[in-house]
Amino acid sequence: MTALKAHEVERFVNRPDISEGVFLVYGPDAGLVREVAQKLTRQFAGGDAGSMNLVTLDGTDVDADPGRLAVEARTVCMFGEQRVVRVRGAGKSLVMTLSELIDEPSGAAIILEAGNLAPRDALRALVEAGKAGRALPCYPDSEDTLLRLINDTFSKAGVRAAPDVATTLRDSLGNDREITRRELEKLLLFAQDSKVLTRDDVLALCADNAALVLDEIVDAAGTGHAARLDEALDRALAAAINPQQLLISALQHFSTLRRWRAEVDAGRSAREVLETVKPKPHFSRKAALEQQLRLWSDEALALACERLHGAAGDARKRYGVQETVTRRVLLAVCMMAAER
């Protein structure tokens, strides 16, 4: 049984222990699935996408003609190269055909791309059990793997990044490998001549600055950090973010905290709650959100929401003092957290 662990995939792709068989690349990170499948394809077929020994199929093509995969895998190349068949969107319909190929691959490398498969999924179970089968799981980047990817990319390109560049970029990215690669390529192109990157470059090129500063404001208020709140408010207002937007964002945040707090009061841990909510908060905020769920009671959150709701109405009526009203209520909420 050959089921690789997620941390073993990169090493395997660089040095596969078999040169023929069925390679199932699967997981919830579609961008990483494509990246790993592409690396395997280059490993077996070389860098020429138009090579005669490489054929690429869609899962729908194979669904319509189940025998096509076997025909393509067993086709002998004119000049003796290894046959490489890549199937995008592979599914259970391939199981019957693959059951014949996995023990006798006839020299071919069959690379399958699939979504997130459960352990009992028929396709995954078949490949993991096959002597010539290798299953490669692709899960979203963690904080550590994302930082390593960022630093390795800059190092290989000879780009000198300021100490806070990697963490700033990590905190502005999600955990989809394809998006991460696009952002890294953008930064490398920007630094092509200077070979230098700063935090300001990252914020200007990659970050959704409005979203970042809104998160900083609500997390500073929710954890009781007045100085950090004041600094984030200055940045938001300097960037012409409307005070009404700040109040609405804060009200939504504390309303959401109250909903999550109800689950904590029902017996779940703060970490369990944050791991299961949809959409899942960015991992860079996890510690701050856990802290807020520990600090705030339902009663206190209800009072914070009431204050924010009142301030939003007051700011609408008194347009000339919106900024003052916003600063005052957010500081009041921040002091509530600091006193807990």
Q: Give residue-wise pLDDT tens across range 57-116.
A: 988 888 888 788 888 888 876 555 788 999 998 988 889 888 888 888 888 899 999 999
Q: Are residues 183 and 94 in the same domain?
A: no
Q: Are residues 119 and 18 in the same domain?
A: yes
Ramachandran angles phi, psi of 102, nearest 5°: -65, -30
Phi and psi angles of residue 56, each rounded to the nearest 5 degrees, phi first: -115, 130
For the segment 238-254, the average pLDDT, to the nearest whole number, is 87
Q: Are residues 129 and 227 in the same domain?
A: no
CB within 8 Å of 120: residues ≥ 6 apart: none
Residues 6+ apart with CB under 8 A from 65: none
Tokens describing residue 176: 């989809």
Residues 104 and 13 in one domain: yes
Instruction: Identify the weakest region by mean pLDDT among 29-38, 77-86, 135-144, 313-322.
Output: 77-86
- Kindly report which listed range (58-72, 145-159, 183-197) carries the lowest average pLDDT score: 58-72
Residue 26 confidence (pLDDT): 95
What is the residue type of 247? L
Residues 227 and 271 reside in one and the same domain: yes
Task: CATH number of the domain at 268, please.
Answer: 1.20.272.10
The domain total for the chain is 3
Written as six digits, the tokens of 290 are 């856990």
Phi, psi of 188 (to 5 degrees): -65, -40
Quote the CA–CA distance of 18 and 305 in Å, as a whole number: 60
| Beta pairing class for 133-137 and 160-161 | unpaired
Least confident piece of the model among 10-19, 121-130, 136-145: 136-145
Q: Is residue 113 within 8 Å of residue 86, measured between CB atoms?
A: yes
What percent of the chain lies above the pLDDT cut of 70? 94
Element (H, E) at 23: strand 21-26
- The whole-number average pLDDT for the span 315-334 is 89
Which two tokens mark 7?
Answer: 């941390």
State the pLDDT confidence band at 49, using cuts at 50, 70 and 90.
low
CA angle at 126 for the pair 122 and 132, rounded to the nearest 5°:
160
List Cα–Cα distances, 155 to 143, 148, 195, in angstroms.
Answer: 18, 10, 10
What average pLDDT does range 181-197 have in this prediction? 91
Q: Is residue 286 part of a domain?
A: yes
- Please give the mean pLDDT across all residues of the chain: 87
Question: Which has the higher per-residue pLDDT, 50 or 163?
Answer: 163
Q: Residue 172: inside a domain, yes or no?
A: yes
For residue 1, tell me if it sits in a domain. no
Whole-prediction pTM: 0.59
Q: Is the torsion defined by CA of 132, 138, 142, 147 positive or negative?
A: positive
Can you give the residue range of the structural domain that contains 22?
6-137
Identify whether residues 53 and 110 lie together within a single domain: yes
Question: pLDDT per residue over 254-301, tens digit each?
Answer: 999 999 999 999 999 988 998 888 777 876 788 899 999 999 999 999
Residue pair 283/143 in contact by the 8 Å Cβ criterion = yes
User: Among residues 67, 66, 45, which one has the least CA distance to residue 56?
Assistant: 45
Among residues 89, 120, 137, the one where a domain terminates is 137
> Is residue 323 assigned to a domain?
yes
Within this chain, do residues 22 and 131 fall inside the same structural domain, yes or no? yes
